[in-house]
Amino acid sequence: IVGYRYLSPDEELPFDDEQEGLSEQIVFTFSHVVAENTPKGRAADKFAELVNEKSNGKIKIVVFPNGSLFSDIEDITALKEGQVHFIATSTAKMGGLSPEWAVLDLPFAFPTYEAIEEGIHGPIGTHLLDSLQKKGILGLAHWSNGFKQITSNTGPIRLPQDLQGQTIRIMNSDTLRAQYELLGAEAQPESFNDTYHLIEAGKIDGEENTISNIYSKKFYEVQKHLTISNHGYLGYVVMMDQKVWDQQSKNTQQILLEAMQETTAWNDRQAIKINEEQLELIKQNSSIQIHELSNQEKEQWKKKLDPLYDTLAATIGDKLVDELKALRT
């Protein structure tokens, strides 16, 4: 099973219209902040499609992309207050719920996509999902977007010292803040959908993100340099409020879980493909200068940033940091 652990693969879906909970149409809302043509956007739509199919149209998921329902600053509170049923928040923004989530932000934690999958769908990811129980939240799955890159107007960014003195927009994460401080940059947490305008207005020099976010939000239009650094992970935790979940019938729960399982497995493959395709589109459609870090350059970044593993172990916990370190080799 990929992504969650509530339905065993050989368990049958006892689908029956007559059974409790499916005699009327049920509508759920799903809020996220990215564009539709991104790994998360497409996964949310795929989830809605699968739920619709599996319930013969009885369960509808209405997806609100681009922060049109709630921004990334509001979504967790909105979930807790019952104003939205599903959210897929970047794991980097989960530090307010528990500092352990910062583990997934550690720089150069995952050398490959396979290591990402082992991290988020293995014991580390499961532990993080379970940690939400005490907050009254059901963590349904991890959806990966892949690796973050760096964009800036002051560049090119080849070596760690190239970011010195720059103001970099980050997601609200202590690890990311510590990372940029170590590089001599000023880290500025800002909402995702404000980023384009902040760059355009010259309020920030740059930001870090996946290619799909850089492409779909057109950051390449307002940034001069893009460094393919693959220095960090960006992914999401799909969540529901536990009370709302508990109110659902067994059938509804099983349909949602099965659709989530299929979507999660599908997303892992899609995310890689989307980011690759959209890098080609950026190359074709813009004059942004692209630099890919060489292995030697990467070693210099790692050397500079590796002390974070020790400094942040105090907040994240030694066990999780050690488990993550094992995936780096």
Helices and strands counted in the chain (H then E): 13, 9
- Among positions 182-201, residues that touch ligand LMR (CB under 6 A) are 192
Q: What number of chain residues touch ligand LMR (CB under 6 A)?
A: 11
How far apart are alpha carbons 123 and 323 in whole angstroms?
Answer: 8
Element (H, E) at 253: helix 250-285
Give just the sign of the alpha carbon dihedral 187, 158, 38, 256: negative
Candidate residues 31, 55, 90, 270; the one interacting with ligand LMR per rule CB under 6 A: 90
Name the segment binding ligand LMR (CB under 6 A); options: 23-31, 32-40, 116-124, 288-296. Answer: 32-40
Q: How far is CA 147 from CA 105, 214, 276, in A?
A: 11, 12, 11
- Closest approach of Cβ 235 to ligand LMR, in Å? 9
| Binding of ligand LMR by 74 (CB under 6 A) | no
- Among positions 266-285, residues that touch ligand LMR (CB under 6 A) are none
Query: What crossing angle do the helices spanning 174-182 and 295-305 adopt, rounded to 10°?
Result: 110
- Binding mask 146-185 toward ligand LMR (x if CB under 6 A, else -) reads -------------------------x--------------
- Closest approach of Cβ 152 to ligand LMR, in Å? 15
How far apart are alpha carbons 110 and 135 in whole angstroms?
Answer: 28
Candidate residues 152, 209, 248, 278; the one interacting with ligand LMR per rule CB under 6 A: 209
Residues near 106 by Cβ (< 8 Å), separated by ≥ 6?
175, 232, 308, 309, 312, 321, 324
Name the segment binding ligand LMR (CB under 6 A); options: 3-11, 33-41, 128-136, 253-261. Answer: 33-41
- Among positions 227-246, residues that touch ligand LMR (CB under 6 A) are 234
If one counts every other C-beta atom within 10 angstroms of the C-beta of residue 10, the result is 5
| Binding of ligand LMR by 226 (CB under 6 A) | no
| Binding of ligand LMR by 216 (CB under 6 A) | no
| Binding of ligand LMR by 72 (CB under 6 A) | yes
Residue 67 vs 155, nearer CB to ligand LMR: 67
> Which residues of this chain interact with ligand LMR, rule CB under 6 A?
33-34, 40, 72, 90, 145, 171, 192, 209, 213, 234
